[in-house]
Structure 1
């Protein structure tokens, strides 16, 4: 049986996504979209450089180093590997700090799957920056739309990590664009990705590193899916909406219509949030609440803290409350609403430095966590998932109650991180003498003749391994 004999039906969701994403051209995109894409590239490369120094990044990198020769940069080193294994290593490193970009409605991290796949394959193919950037835009489009359709709260309840599941489809689209697949083969690539997409939430039980691997595997799987499609392998065109498709396998309450509704209006890259705080995004609004109240009282004056959390994120940051009040390690702390609020009150920050074993052991932080409760607030859930508001109340020993609510956390498109702050974030995470010059180069990557020039620049300040 040939590919032609089982050609994809034109009106499946995968087919529509393939047609739309296959038509995207960098030169035809609005400048606002192009600039946002460059900023997302800058942010993701910064968090990958920082994440490459984390212990959990060593094993995937060693695996990639032993997987064979290639042109794809292993970020944070002077080494290269094949595109698919570099994508696994870089995607895992990018997710290590909980500082990578995120979306509200789809409740996932798109960049960690898309950009490592696109960068690695673009280096391997010696592609132009424009080709890589339009592949990134296409990858974000698919990832976020699949995430929207999954209904993240339902996927969480089933134990699946939307970043890993949806990210594999987006990475397949990005890789397929770079491989110049036609619409039919792009559709097959999405179908193949449905077999490779995965990601368990069981890391929440003990703070394991597998959450980070979910991102790297999605990037790796996307390249594999696209290459298989390019070689003539077939996948189901009804991979999303079919009776046994992804939307029925990974969630109990899918929103199938969200896969293709309002395609391009706006492009999904315009809906991405950049993270200023090194923890689960469901904690960010709570941190902003605490920072706004901080200074109105002394830490010893606090009798109780009440945090209004979204039902869709309660599994991640609030339940079970006994575990969230006593995180055992840094990963646990990154998924603890009580820790996020306590460390913000004590140190006035939610930065990467706030998530350390030293601060986790601080008696002031431990006490505040012990008196923190989380509750569901119907007024918050009413606008979820399109909006992620947060509410908090601090009850003082003298009987006063101080409360506040945040509609849009810092970093949301409605409350964006300024470009100078994004540059500062990159420079801080890169840990290189040439960080400012490298950041400027990334923001003007279109001027490079080839993506390999960017890869060379990334490796020039890398480590020796």
Structure 2
């Protein structure tokens, strides 16, 4: 039996409880709020121009919502796989569920299945994969394909074909970071769309390689110098991977979050003391992606440990304005005080733990230190349902959504475990569905 066949069996044999459905609804709320909160951005307007969501093409609709979900950099993160599963899985599942007028329970079960596939493949790729490849983009299509396969009722064999055709579409390179390009939104858009196409083709009898992961010319051979194939089926009875996924409180790369968390603590202890030097001990993957001492644009600043720690120490908070031109200019002298280096202890715990050590020296000779094994929003330090609802309302308000409309969205999503029809969300209807759309206006 191939690894993808074993993965399909594992997922379809996992029991789903009411608490799992309720957890999935929270991640749906987070993803949709991230997507709708980014509607008024330049990348969102470009995505709409190419893939208008009102079209009846379900793959294009998944593409649009997938790209939109990742623009604000506030979507979820599964640490062990280093993936953002929500922005790939949920758009694909929504596009099919909305198109076929399915209920909330089927939708949420598909979300759980999709997260499981994305995260288990992501945990199997090994550390070296991430140095060149964006795990969300390469592993995401497995998740979106699995979600759609469940929604459209594919047989075991055809679900395996769907994963085979999802895997052959895997792509997504980190090179965009060097110029601050927008390609990361394309990664999530294509990750969602690829899974939809793979599953719909499989439904037509379009075959896919069953050994796409472990084959001699497959995924591991081409993209993974140090794969961990056993991770695909390890500990099948543990909780759903969705329940082990983190929620982001700050709008920047998750690799910066432990450092931000520690720096905000130190801000409260610094008082008015002048900072002389800052040392950040990080894990290697964070350095590979976020060692950027002089970011020249907002996106690069969101991937800069130096900028994030400097502004968190200075302001005691991080929000969307923390990365604009004014903030970058204000923090330029503070960033020059920051040294980032690999900590053996922190690196040894990664990816199970995304930690940091932050050390600050002041002009009056004080030395302040703070460490994190996990950040706010991790399963060990979770956001509550009320905190997540507040985050959603904040993101929606930032895009101009009236508070009554935001309250309705939150209520509808949280009611999905009761099998409320997904069309009642009213997101970008391709045709009239009976309820006014939440945000179908031109972005």
TM-score by length of 2: 0.94
From 115, 118, 127, the equivalent of 1:140 is 115
Q: 1:337 aligns with which of 300, 305, 321?
A: 305
Partner in structure 2 of residue 252 of structure 1: 225
1:94 and 2:69 matched? yes
CA distance in 1, matches of 2:284, 2:100: 44
Matched, 1:437 2:408: yes
Distance apart, 1:117 and its partner CA: 0.3
Deviations 1:391-430 (A, max 9, x none): 1001112222111101110000000012111111100111
Structure 2 alignment gaps of length 5 or more: 428-434
Kept after mapping to 2: 8 A contact 1:155/1:250 = yes
> RMSD of the alignment, in Å?
1.6
**Contact 1:344/1:350 (8 A) holds in 2:** yes
Aligned partner of 2:158 in structure 1 is 185
Q: Displacement of 1:295 after TM fit?
A: 3.1
- What is the Cα deviation at residue 448 of structure 1? 5.3
Give the Cα–Cα distance (whole angstroms) in 2 for the partners of residues 376 and 212 of structure 1.
Answer: 29
**Partners of 2:18 and 2:417 within 8 A in 1:** no
**3-state secondary structure, aligned to 2:66:** helix
Instruction: Pick closer, same or farther for the CA change 1:298–1:460 going to 2, 3 Å.
Output: closer
- Counterpart of 2:322 (choices 345, 349, 354) is 354
Does residue 29 (structure 1) correspond to residue 16 (structure 2)? The answer is: yes
Aligned to 1:4: none
* Deviation per residue, 1:169-211 (Å, 9 max, x gap): 1101111111110100000101111111111110110111001
Counterpart of 2:380 in structure 1 is 414
Mapped to 2, the partners of 1:121 and 1:328 lie a distance apart of: 39
Alpha-carbon distance between aligned partners in 2 of 1:259 and 1:314, rounded to the nearest angstrom: 27
| Structure 1 residues without counterparts, runs of 5 or longer | 1-10, 66-73, 319-323
Matches within 5 A, 1:83-232: 83-151=58-126, 153-157=127-131, 159-232=132-205
Quick check: 1:53 aligned with 2:40? yes
Equivalent-residue separation in structure 2 for 1:50 and 1:347 (angstroms):
24
CA distance in 1, matches of 2:200, 2:244: 29
- Helix, strand or coil for the counterpart of 1:275? coil
The C-alpha deviation readout for 1:351-383, integer Å capped at 9, x for no partner, is 233232322222xx1111111110111111221
Q: How far has the Cα of 1:32 moved from its partner?
A: 2.4
Question: For 2:168, what is the secondary structure of its paired residue?
Answer: helix
2:442 and 2:355 map into 1 onto residues whose CA distance is 44
Aligned residues of 2:92 and 2:193 also touching (Cα < 8 A): yes
Offset at residue 447 of structure 1 (A): 3.7
In the TM superposition, structure 1's runs of 4+ consecutive aligned residues that sit over 3 Å from their partners are 446-449
Distance in 2 (alpha carbons) for counterparts of 1:300 and 1:132: 52
Q: Secondary structure at the match of 2:148?
A: helix
Question: Alignment length, in residue pairs?
Answer: 431
Q: Equivalents in 2 of 1:245, 1:12: separation in Å?
A: 12
TM-score scaled to structure 1, two decimals? 0.89
2:214/2:220 contact within 8 Å kept: yes
2:441 is matched with: 463
5, 11, 18: which one aligns with 1:15: 5
Q: More deviation in 395-404 or 137-146? A: 395-404
* Superimposed CA distance per residue, residues 15-69 of structure 1 (whole angstroms, 9 cap, x where no aligned partner): 0111233345xxx52232122101000000000001222211222211112xxxx
SS of aligned partner of 2:426: helix
| Alignment check: 8 A CA contact 1:187 1:237 kept | yes
Pair 458,380 (structure 1): closer, same or farther in 2 beyond 3 Å: farther
